[in-house]
Amino acid sequence: MVTTIKWEIVKSLDDLTQTDLDTFCHRLRDRREEPRVRRRAVDGKTILEVADLLVSTFTEHTALQVTLDILKQINCNEEAKALDDHKHTTGLMVSQSKMLTITNHPLSYKYNIYVSSLRGGSREIFTGWP
């Protein structure tokens, strides 16, 4: 069965103690790379809300890597290994939407690109033809 990256992040965060989850959220707020996460975005949030925040802030692929990095930083190595192993042994569905502007055209049409990756493969679908 194919699961989403967001669901795998939820399962990993659900395995943390409350102290480790608080430390995870602190490290998430303390990241120096962009995009940054504000304190009010994670304080008092449930695991589902934190996972939603990760995916909406970083995109699914980057959210997975950010989660792995922070888990390793806070010495939750078993959870990080389980998430990393699961990433490699099952098909994690990645979906993201990006805008592509064709600037060579005098009307500068915009197209939506949907990219899905399943076990390392990728597929691109162009929509929004004028």
E strand or H helix that includes residue 19: helix 18-29
> Per the structure block, which two tokens stand in for 65?
């890597």
Q: What percent of the chain has pLDDT over 90?
A: 50
pTM above 0.75, yes or no: no
For 31-55, write each residue's pLDDT tens digit: 998 899 999 999 989 999 999 999 9
pLDDT at 17 over 90: yes
pLDDT given at position 90: 53
For the segment 64-85, what is each residue's pLDDT rounded down to a tens digit?
999 999 999 999 999 999 888 8
33 HSE (CA, 13 A, CB side) = 10
Q: Are 30 and 66 in contact (CB under 8 A)?
A: no
Structure-token pair, residue 44? 């008092």
pLDDT at res. 85: 83
Give the pLDDT confidence score for residue 2 in this predicted structure. 59
